[in-house]
Amino acid sequence: MTETRTGSPLSAGTTTGVSRRTLLKGTAAAAGVAIGSGAITGFPTIWAQNIKNVTLRQFGTGVSNLNAVADKVKEDLGFTLQMTALDSDAVAQRAVTQPKSYDIADIEYWICKKVFPAGVMQPMDVSKIKNFDKIVPIFVNGKLTPESAVAQGTAPHTVGFVEGKDSIKFAKSATQWMTLIPTIYNADTLGIRPDLVGRPITSWTDLLDPAFKGKASIINIPSIGIMDAAMVCEAMGEVKYGDKGNMTKEEIDKTLKIMTDAKKAGQFRAFWKTFDESVNLMSSGEVIIQSMWSPAVAAVRAKGIQCVYQPLKEGYRAWGGGLGIAKHLSGLELEAAYEYINWYLSGWVGAYLNRQGYYSAVLDTAKEHMSPDEWAFWMEGQPAKTDILSPEGKVMEKAGAVRDGGSFKDRMGRVACWNAVMDEDRYMVRKWNEFVAA
């Protein structure tokens, strides 16, 4: 990575990084000198030798459990980060039922709504989070810009804060105690095979277009799938929702009736549950239009198969995740966790995530770690001047390409709804299972 970007304005930053590491290696034994070097480079406090013995166990969904991050943590902070990747259901389950089995939970906001009230996690003191005031305002007050409307569903700011240090009650507005430090989020839409759909796709209703009979798919994780279904039904004009993220029983019934009828008519080729299933369905041509995640689209394209993450006129379904700290963490391990979270927001990971097509919570620091061309392509929706590389250095987009959906503002500014967990959750899940079994 360092080699490929030498010559970019970034190289200055990289060099200081290298010298800091060299410095650290030479002085690892002497904690005093190490603290000094931390002060010189402006990097978070360097802890005494014993922090190297700390191991933090992080678990979460596959999207952000990246080995590259664990390696970089070892390099920059000295301690070990163990990552476990599970699917969203399993994450929610483990977070509640085995709270001692992890130190850091990397969970989505809708999972947080389920998990935090169980009292298995502790909120974080925002005064210890260095870049807190630079976090994208979506996570603080729900608005990307002061004018924008708050989207429906479990919007991150509604479960982002609790009332006090030991509280498990979500606060109505920002407080000093944050449940999750946002790390990664994105706006989801339908993925299509432009070579096979044969016409422009503009609306969520196209998922149920009989023209694509036997060639559509939808995600089979109830709390996410129901949202995609709601976007479709609302776009069709068949169901009017008070709040798509918190449906009434009647709204759930109507939505799933429409989906069940479509299923019985043979609209769906398959349902998918994991990232790789969605990639395989799309690249094999079994499915030509489906709910999809942005890196899955990238994975299909990486095989040389056309795939578009199609912006739709009704807007996006957004999701976001963050890092939370387990209740049992204290002392040196807790300090290490704060250290890690501050490091997470300090730019390197942000740039890594942005380059994968996700968004990072603190944009300013991520920008420092990206080339102007990368920034313009990923965040501003401008045509790429040079080939756009993935974080691993593979070519993702050729020069001249434009990101599907355009700029950060165009995409995150058009969020219709966040992934959600509803009050009628249990009823919804039962009905969803009926739909799947129908």
Partner 1 sequence: MTVSAVPSEASSASAAPRSGGVRRSVLRRVAPYLQAGPLALTLLVFLLIPILTIVAVSFWDYDSIRIYPDFVLTNYEELLTSPVTWKTYLNTVKFAALTWVITLLIGFTVAYFLAFHVRSTTWQMVLFLVCTIPFWTSNIIRMISWIPFLGRNGLLNSGLISAGLIDQPLEFLLFSDFAVVLAFVHLYALFMVVPIFNSMMRIDRALVEAARDGGASAAQVVWNVILPLAKPGIAIGSIFVVTLVMGDFITVRLMSGGQSASIGLMIANEISLLQYPAAAANAVVLLAVVLIMVVAMLRIVDIRKEL
Amino acid at 435: F
Token duo for residue 376: 């313009």
In the complex, minimum distance from the CB of residue 426 to partner 1, in angstroms, rounded to a whole number: 6
With tokens 């279904």, the residue in question is 229
> In angstroms, rounded to a whole number, what is the distance separating the alpha carbons of residues 72 and 212?
45
Of 33 and 305, nearer to partner 1 (C-beta) is: 305
Of 138 and 281, nearer to partner 1 (C-beta) is: 281
Amino acid at 426: R
Token duo for residue 262: 């479509």
Of 305 and 389, nearer to partner 1 (C-beta) is: 305
Of 5 and 269, nearer to partner 1 (C-beta) is: 269
In the complex, minimum distance from the CB of residue 132 to partner 1, in angstroms, rounded to a whole number: 28
Of 81 and 428, nearer to partner 1 (C-beta) is: 428
31-41 helix and 11-27 helix, angle to the nearest 10 degrees: 170
Cα 224 to Cα 102, 218, 402: the distances in Å are 25, 10, 28
> In angstroms, rounded to a whole number, what is the distance separating the alpha carbons of residues 30 and 35?
9
> In angstroms, rounded to a whole number, what is the distance separating the alpha carbons of residues 261 and 434?
12
In the complex, minimum distance from the CB of residue 429 to partner 1, in angstroms, rounded to a whole number: 5
In the complex, minimum distance from the CB of residue 437 to partner 1, in angstroms, rounded to a whole number: 4
Q: Which helix (H) or strand (E) holds 291?
A: strand 289-291
In the complex, minimum distance from the CB of residue 57 to partner 1, in angstroms, rounded to a whole number: 21
Query: Max Cα separation, the chain?
Result: 71
Of 55 and 433, nearer to partner 1 (C-beta) is: 433
In the complex, minimum distance from the CB of residue 303 to partner 1, in angstroms, rounded to a whole number: 13
State the residues that interact with partner 1 by CB under 8 A.
87, 89-90, 92-93, 96-97, 114-115, 117-118, 214, 217, 220, 222, 263, 268-273, 280-281, 284-286, 421, 425-426, 429-430, 433-434, 436-437
Q: Which helix (H) or strand (E) holds 278?
A: helix 275-283
If one counts every other C-beta atom within 10 angstroms of the C-beta of residue 97, the result is: 10
Following DSSP, what letter does each residue of 57-93 receive, concatenated?
A: EEEEETTT--HHHHHHHHHHH-SEEEEEEE-HHHHHH
Of 130 and 273, nearer to partner 1 (C-beta) is: 273
In the complex, minimum distance from the CB of residue 329 to partner 1, in angstroms, rounded to a whole number: 20
